[in-house]
Amino acid sequence: MDTIVMSEMGWEIPSSSTNDIYLVQKNKPSCDCRLVCDLCQSCLHSYSCTCLDNSIRWNMCKHIHLVCQFMKGHQIQDTNADEEHIINTDEVKIKQATEQAKFVEFVSKSCNINQEKTSKQLEVEKQKLIEIQTQIIQNITTFEQLEAFQSITAPLVPTLRTLAEHSGNELNITELSHGTQNIPHNKKIVAQKRLFSTKKKTTKSKKKLLSKPDAEETNLIANQLMLQVNNVLFN
């Protein structure tokens, strides 16, 4: 079969018997002529060739037939390529949708696992904290230590309630009164009994009686209790 070389002017076809090269050109994109070749589906006026059979005798030469067959084959290949491209595009879209669905399923499962893990871990840490708090309370031996523990834990409930409000949750915890009651502002206050003498001290040295520690001593006791708490938490 002769070799067809496409050029800027048309199609170049070498002669099968000589060293000549014939040029086939397309003249009209469409023609109303009824002299159409059944095999090529083209008329004589659609193409021209530099060979003698076409240029002198005005016949539809074999070179034109060859170009028509060549063009027809390329059109079929282009159509098949377009159809294959459409099929490949659909397959890519289906594959992408499948992969996306798998990814969403994987993320959902991972979130559920992390939520379950976080809930279990929270319960474990809460149980540890309960054990530590219970151990601290059981080791309190004086009222000073108890008051220091109460002063440390008193701000916990308001702080936790504020955090719960910011996160949109509700904290159902009653604040500890530590033995106090809500007293109306207009109620008469009963004077407490004094635990020490109000008489003026004499110059004679007397044995000091036990009395309530002052602010400095209270802070010292609180710091000692905090050291005990830290030792229990981190040892």
Q: Which two tokens stand for residue 130?
A: 């309960």
Q: 68 and 148 in one domain?
A: no
Q: Is pLDDT above 80 for 52?
A: yes
Q: For residue 36, what pLDDT is reported?
A: 75
The answer to whether residue 114 sits within a structural domain is no
Residue 12 inside a domain? The answer is: yes
What strand order describes the sheet that includes 5-6? 5-6, 11-14, 21-26, 47-49
> Is 235 domain-assigned?
yes
Half-sphere CA count of 114, side-chain side, radius 13 A: 6
CB 232 within 8 A of CB 132: yes
**Most distant CA pair in the chain, distance:** 155
Domain range for 160 is 139-165+216-235
Q: Taking residues 83-112, what's their average pLDDT?
A: 69
Cβ neighbour number for residue 63 with a 10 Å cutoff: 24
Is the model's pLDDT at 181 over the cut of 50?
Answer: no
**Which tokens sit at 83?**
């159809």
Query: In this structure, what are the phi and psi dihedrals at residue 90, rounded to the nearest 5 degrees?
Result: -65, -40
Residue 3: pLDDT above 60?
A: yes
Domain end point (choices 72, 107, 125): 72
**Which residues are CB-neighbours of 137 under 8 A, at least 6 positions away?**
149
Q: What is the pLDDT of residue 85?
A: 56
Decide the pairing of beta strands 11-14 and 21-26.
antiparallel
Region 34-56 average pLDDT: 78
Structural contact between residues 1 and 70, judged by C-beta atoms closer than 8 angstroms: no
Closest by Cα among 142, 136, 139 to 229? 136
| Cβ proximity of 44 and 35 under 8 Å | yes
Domain-terminating residue out of 72, 101, 121: 72
DSSP 67-133: HHHHHHHHHHHHHHHHHHHHHHHHHHHHHHHHHHHHHHHHHHHHHHHHHHHHHHHHHHHHHHHHHHH
* Residue 226 belongs to some domain of the structure: yes
Q: What is the pLDDT of residues 127-142, one digit of tens each?
A: 888 888 888 888 989 9
Give the residue with greater pLDDT, 147 vs 82.
Answer: 147
Number of domains composing the chain: 2
3-state SS, residue 13:
strand
> Domain ends where: 45, 72, 99?
72
